[in-house]
Structure 1
Amino acid sequence: MTDAVLADAAERRPADLSGRNDERELLDGLLRGAREGRGGAVALLGEAGSGKTALLDRCAAAAGGARLLRCAGVQSEAALPYAGLQVLLRGTLDRPGRLTERQLTALRGVITLDAPPAGDRFLVGAATLGLLDELAEERPVVVLVDDAHWLDLETVDALLFAARRLGMGRVAMVFAAHEESAVFDGVPGVPNLRLGPLSDAEGAALLAGRAPHLHAAVRDRILGLAQGNPLALVELLGALTTAQREGSEPLDAREIAVLPASWRVRRIFDERIRALPGPTRSLLTVAAADDTGDVALVVAAGERVGAAAGDFGPAEAADLVRVSGQRLTFRHPLVRAAAYQGRC
């Protein structure tokens, strides 16, 4: 694994989770199985903000001494063959192994920029499986793929080829995708785990953990607006003034109940982005179109539109992105979506 990917994994801390006990138990079992030589895969499906990324973060934190490979689909690269696999597997071909020469050549064609083009999809899929099994001989491997609905088709084919054949290996694969995605429909060996809305009790517990003195009527209003969406609960709460939390100021200005929960959250993120200085918005747009999280690359591209490295500051202060050394991560995929889709 590259140092950049390791650093990114180390910087991500699991978000607070309320409820999702069944999901956590299943994922714990999947990771435990990989450690014990019983590989497996699962696909988490849910609306935006339902907790998929938080569960992936929790898997990363629970991976222990396992080798962590992680990537996320990026809308702007959905049509680029093997873009996702290039991010996921870069830095893994740095030592001799048991892959055949054809398999090694195929993967190098995917992962490196100076190698010949990759071979057919079956060969790349078989090589991906072989590489994961080889890496797992040293220590268990945990593969986490967020926003899988934005992955390019070639990457999806290769990863699902491997996921269906993990068998007795020490590899666990967890995918996360939007609930309307058909990527994992009917895929043998990759069960779908749908994340429904939180119950009112679970939602109330989440709010209480963040705002113990929240007025009961305000809590009930937020629960009604969020419709069980965890991120919506957190962001709607965060959008309230102290007076609104105490119940002394009306909430009408924030009541947008005609929209689905995830779009309520997108609207809040949109508002935060619009409030940023122009150069910061431009830099976020560039970062949203990039899949590497490399600050230097994003800044170099941002300079062409009049932005500079210091323009990340307002976005960090608004809790939209996190910059650590040379790594940049969006606080949530919805932030990336808001930055990318609001570029016009």
Structure 2
Amino acid sequence: MPLPDGKRSGVVLHGRDQELAELRDLVDGCRAGRGAALVLLAGTGLGASTMVAATRAFAADFRTRGVAGVEVEAELPGAALDRLLDRPANDEAAADGHELRRALTTGDVPTLCWVDGAHTLDRSSLAALGHLARRLTDLPLLMLFTCAPGSDAALVLAGLPTLVVRPLDDTAARHVLRDRTPEQLPPDLAGELVALASGVPRALVDLVDALTPGQLCGTEPPPEALPRTAPTGPPCAARSPHCRQRPGSSCSWWPKTCARISTRCCAPAPDSASTGLRGGRRPQPGWSSSTAAPCARRTN
């Protein structure tokens, strides 16, 4: 789904129609005087920050205040409120919920307050924001948090409505790839990237950006692992049915631990020394360095 300013920014969210519809409904309700709060529980790279940007676009007529977590300030009491309110704050000020309420609900114009990365906020600021978020029924205030699942912050925000951001399905993932590449990727390569990224949008982007000219042309085998900068994956139970990790365990997404798709073997090949492939993996059926498809595009 394109964002409201998609024609200007080119930003498109694929596979998030249900989540965006819920966010738009919350904005419309706040515009009508019904305050609300929502916690987006999302792992790294799943697009929660982009959903915050979409909500800000939906609420273009709102007053907006927001703060992103800064991990190095997590031990400084009141640091997040200091930045959110653009005024000095300390532990005592953070505990004063009335001051925070007044600062965020001045006038009749509805307000959107967003907190991106609640798990990296200092605890006193987050506790004050969570306290207010539970008391919004009669306030023209919408509060939106993004938070890592299983973090201490998720406990601090317990009791607030929650929306779990899931990995993209394969169709949406392929749309992300098409948006990122100027030309259509070969179907086999696109399938490899979709399987390897396991529905994480940022992992898809990182994979495409790291492709070599030979991989784009088909003269080199596709990537066997995520780039080192890519986000880590969700528990294997939330991923592919081909994953060999113990259900519920944490998967590093590296090829030694995950069979990504059924058409490739992740076990070391007996003749791995002669394959020329990284990690001793078998090549895709039909692929060889002598019969690789000719390059479909020119490179500078």
* TM-score, length of structure 2 as denominator length: 0.68
Aligned residue in 1 for 2:141? 171
2: CA distance, partners of 1:225 / 1:172: 37
Matched, 1:20 2:19: no
Give the counterpart of 2:189 among 190, 202, 218: 218
Q: CA deviation at 1:13?
A: 5.8
* In structure 2, C-alpha distance between the alignment counterparts of 1:149 and 1:62, rounded to whole Å: 25
Note the alpha carbon deviations across 1:107-140, whole angstroms, 9 max, x for none: xxxx327xxx553754x2222123222x2x2411
- Pairwise CA distance, 1:168: 2.1
3-state SS of 2:39 partner:
strand
Q: Which protein has greater RCO, CA pairs closer than 8 Å, 6+ apart? A: 1
The answer for unaligned runs of 5 or more in structure 1 is 1-11, 91-110, 265-344
Which of 48, 61, 64 is equivalent to 2:60? Answer: 64
Distance 1:118 1:147, change over 3 A: closer
**Cα pair 1:14 1:58 within 8 Å, conserved:** no
Q: CA deviation at 1:15?
A: 4.1
Query: 1:146 aligns to what?
Result: 116
How far off is 1:262 after superposition? 1.4
Q: Does 1:246 align with 2:217?
A: yes
Q: For 2:29, give the aligned amino acid.
A: G
Could you tell me how far 1:210 is from its partner in structure 2?
2.5
Separation of aligned partners in 2, 1:27 and 1:34 = 11
What is the CA RMSD across the aligned residues, in angstroms?
A: 2.5
Task: For 1:178, give the aligned amino acid.
Answer: A
For residues 213-262 of structure 1, give each alpha carbon's deviation from its aligned partner in whole angstroms, at most 9, with x where no partner exists. Answer: 111011011011101001101111111134322323222xx422699961
Matched with 2:255 is none
CA distance in 1, matches of 2:230, 2:195: 10
Q: Give the C-alpha shift of residue 73 in structure 1.
A: 0.9
Alignment match of 2:39 (pick from 35, 38, 43): 43
CA distance in 1, matches of 2:25, 2:216: 39
Match of 1:126 in 2: 98
**Equivalent residue letter for 1:227:** S
- Report sequence identity in percent: 33
User: Kindly tell me: are residues 37 and 188 of structure 1, through their superposed partners in 2, closer, same or farther at Cα, counting changes over 3 Å?
Assistant: farther
Q: Give the aligned partner of residue 224 of structure 2.
A: 255
Secondary structure at the counterpart of residue 161 of structure 1: helix
Which residue is equivalent to 1:112?
88
- Once the two structures are superposed, residues 77-100 of structure 1 have per-residue CA deviations (whole angstroms, 9 ceiling, x without a partner) of 00001111111111xxxxxxxxxx
The 3-state SS of whatever aligns with 2:232 is helix
For 2:94 and 2:199, the matched residues in 1 are separated by 40
Contact 1:15 / 1:57 at 8 angstroms: preserved in 2? no
Q: Distance in 1 between matches of 2:83 and 2:226?
A: 38
Structure showing greater Rg: 2
Contact 1:13–1:61 (Cα < 8 Å) also in 2: no
Aligned ranges for residues 195-344 of structure 1 at < 5 Å? Answer: 195-211=165-181, 212-251=183-222, 254-256=223-225, 262-263=231-232
Contact preservation (8 Å) 1:73, 1:84: yes
Aligned residues: 225
Match of 1:311? none
Instruction: Provide closer, same or farther for how the CA distance between residues 192 and 232 of structure 1 changes in structure 2, counting only shifts above 3 A.
Output: same
**Match status 1:76 vs 2:45:** no
Q: Distance in 2 between the 1:202 and 1:175 partners? A: 24
Higher share in helix: 1
